[in-house]
Amino acid sequence: MKKIMLVVMTSTLISACATDPYTREEKVSNAGIGAGTGAAIGAATGALLGDGEGALIGAAAGAALGGGIGYYMDRQEDQLRARLEGTGVRVQRQGDNLKLIMPGNVTFATDSSDISPSFFSVLDSVALVLNEFGDTSINISGFTDSTGSEIYNQELSEKRANSVASYLVRARVHHGRIQARGFGERYPVASNDSEMGRSQNRRVEISIRPR
């Protein structure tokens, strides 16, 4: 009976629903536990299977497991920030996930899905870090402002996301880790009523998540 309870508790605590900020789809993730949750799981394991000493040992092991993911992403974040400093690419941390925000005017020529040659070295730096930290999945999302038709913007966002994905694959990032999608003028981060706002909405985002 104790073992059955243990399995249920562990599955419930470790599995968490993460909502995609753009599609609003809920996905089950096993990677989102931190050291505190890991310690709780470990303590529960020790208490159910043994005595108080077992609970302490389990708590320590669980904390190491949960904290390991965070530490792995910490190291990746540090390297990305160091390599991308001064490039115009912003690095954001959201829990154990990382997001690289690449302004469209820096990454591409106007109304083009061809990556600017001046941006090649930036993507090379990103690829170096992604190849070093292979236990992550990579979601590439393209966005535009609201200028032009919705159909044109959707196609442009898809082409730009795919251009970045193709470049990373050529830089030896495994294609199985990468998904690319275009969202057109949806999900603006600023008002399209000003040029400054539109420039912020023209972007490519790379989301990096532990697997």
32 — pLDDT class (breaks 50, 70, 90): very low
**Which residue type does 39 have?**
A
Q: Which two tokens stand for residue 198?
A: 């539109």
Q: Which of 19, 16, 20 is nearest to 34 (CA)?
A: 16
Q: Which of 27, 29, 4 is nearest to 14 (CA)?
A: 29
Count Cα neighbours of 139 within 13 Å in the Cβ-side half-sphere: 15
**Which residue type does 167 have?**
Y
Asked if residue 53 has pLDDT above 80, the reply is: no
User: Is the entire prediction scored with pTM above 0.75?
Assistant: no
| 163/169 Cα distance (integer angstroms) | 10
Instruction: Determine the average pLDDT of the residues in 26-36.
Output: 47
| 179/156 Cα distance (integer angstroms) | 17
| 97/120 Cα distance (integer angstroms) | 24
Q: What is the pLDDT of residue 52?
A: 56
Instruction: Determine the average pLDDT of the residues in 44-53.
Output: 52
Number of other CB atoms surrounding residue 199 within 10 Å? 14
| 146/192 Cα distance (integer angstroms) | 6
Q: What is the pLDDT of residue 5?
A: 42
Q: Which two tokens stand for residue 61?
A: 């092991």
* Superfamily holding 87-210: OmpA-like domain (3.30.1330.60)
Residue extents of the structural domains in the chain: 2-73, 87-210
Which of 1-10, 13-22, 143-152 comes out lowest in average pLDDT? Answer: 1-10
Distances (CA, A) of 74 to 32, 87, 98, 168, 190: 14, 20, 9, 22, 29
Q: What is the pLDDT of residue 50?
A: 55
Q: Which two tokens stand for residue 123?
A: 């993507």
Q: Which residues contact 50 (CB under 8 A, 6 or more apart)?
A: none
Instruction: Determine the average pLDDT of the residues in 189-198.
Output: 96
Three-class SS state of 114: coil
Asked if residue 33 has pLDDT above 90, the reply is: no
